[in-house]
């Protein structure tokens, strides 16, 4: 076994994480769910969602049979909702093509919706004891520093070079401890800021530590001005209820329930008359809500409108009237929940 892998394994066995809810199991469903939830999300945020999700959907069959709204409602607040839609779609694929049993073959795993090479590798390792490399964000950071790999890891040639390291360093045995160890090092010691190098098992050979390049490795995503966007959310109020409409998928917040949106308040009356057959009376606006996405920042202006007359079309599928207290528990984006909480308090 190479020295790198041996040190990672030894460290993991004595100092790594061993009591996470999805550890000490070979249940591919639980491992898959944890890997999807952990994509771009910290363990501390995932743990309560993971428990609630399993309580509602304890196996693949129950997830596949559930309406998408129920799945998205449990995911609400965790973000990156395409993960939930893909999870649901993959569960149905497993039921249809694999008789409800999570596939063991790597090619079958990686072909499921929402599962890339690294996630498939982690599932194969932890559920089936397979010998597969991984390369998630934490592992990229460990490799960049340990081997002095310059450049942004998201760049194709840099990522390809890192996959080369991931494959070459894979030990012949103890792959589970090695894989978990890489994850634990990135999450607990080799962190983005203030890494604890003095406790790292790789410190003796770490290029970044030796050359004082820890702060510069891995290279950050090349900076571009973050686009600023704005929208007006129409809070249509009637008999202590508000109107929500289902957003189309794919897209931002696809499949979630949200308030109707327009680009400019000047268009509100005409849009509401045409889209909903609604006549309204303005009741002011709540404070703006600011929400950040990966690729842009969004400013939301919530406009309060009292419905004075209404045609039946807002009772059609894709629209629902709920009290703010009930709407908070629906499958809604985080900014919509923030607005509803303000309304509920008011």
State the catalytic residues. 35
- Compute the distance between CA of residue 226 and CA of residue 211 in angstroms, rounded to an integer: 32
DSSP structural state of residue 77: T
Which residues neighbour 55 within 8 Å (Cβ) at sequence distance 6 or greater?
none
- Residue 263 CA from chain centroid, whole number: 27
**Buried residues in 17-34 as b, exposed as e (16+ CB within 10 A):** eeeeebeeeeebbbbbbb
CB contact at 8 A, 199 and 189:
yes
3-class DSSP state for residue 305? strand
* 17 phi/psi in degrees, rounded to 5: -85, 135
DSSP structural state of residue 212: T
CA distances in angstroms from 234 to 226, 242, 292, listed in the order given:
26, 10, 20
Is the Cα torsion angle 135, 203, 206, 210 positive or negative in sign? positive
3-class DSSP state for residue 113? coil
Q: Token pair 């008359």 is at which residue?
A: 273
CB contact at 8 A, 305 and 235:
yes
For the beta carbon of residue 325, count every other beta carbon within 10 angstroms. Answer: 12
């Amino acid at each position: 076994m190479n020295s790198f892998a041996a040190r990672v394994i030894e460290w993991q066995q004595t100092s790594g994480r061993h009591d996470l809810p999805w550890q000490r199991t070979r249940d591919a469903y639980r491992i898959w769910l944890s890997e999807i939830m952990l994509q771009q999300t910290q363990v501390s945020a995932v743990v309560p969602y993971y428990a609630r999700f399993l309580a509602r959907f304890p196996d693949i069959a129950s997830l596949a049979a559930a309406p998408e709204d129920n799945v998205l409602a449990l995911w609400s607040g965790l973000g990156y909702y395409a993960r939930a839609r893909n999870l649901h779609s993959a569960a149905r694929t497993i039921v249809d093509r694999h008789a409800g049993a999570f596939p063991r073959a790597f090619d079958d795993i990686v072909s499921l919706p929402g599962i890339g090479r690294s996630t498939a590798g982690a599932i194969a390792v932890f559920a089936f004891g397979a010998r597969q490399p991984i390369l998630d964000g934490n592992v990229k950071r460990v490799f960049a520093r340990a081997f002095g790999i310059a450049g942004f890891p998201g760049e194709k040639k840099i990522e390809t070079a890192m996959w080369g390291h991931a494959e070459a360093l894979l030990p012949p045995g103890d792959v589970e401890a090695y894989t978990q160890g890489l994850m634990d090092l990135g999450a607990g010691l080799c962190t983005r800021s203030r890494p604890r190098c003095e406790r790292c098992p790789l410190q003796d050979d770490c290029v970044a530590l030796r050359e004082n390049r820890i702060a510069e490795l891995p290279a950050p995503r090349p900076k571009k001005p973050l686009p600023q966007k704005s929208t007006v959310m129409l809070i249509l109020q009637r008999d202590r209820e508000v109107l929500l409409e289902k957003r189309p998928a794919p897209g931002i917040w696809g499949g979630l329930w949200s308030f109707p949106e327009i680009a400019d308040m000047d268009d509100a009356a005409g849009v509401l008359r045409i889209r909903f057959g609604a006549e309204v009376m303005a009741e002011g606006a709540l404070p703006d809500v600011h929400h950040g996405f990966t690729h842009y920042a969004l400013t939301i202006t919530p406009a309060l409108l009292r419905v004075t007359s209404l045609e039946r079309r807002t009772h059609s599928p894709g629209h629902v009237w709920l009290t703010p207290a009930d709407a908070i528990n629906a499958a809604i984006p985080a900014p919509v929940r923030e607005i509803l909480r303000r309304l509920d308090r008011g």
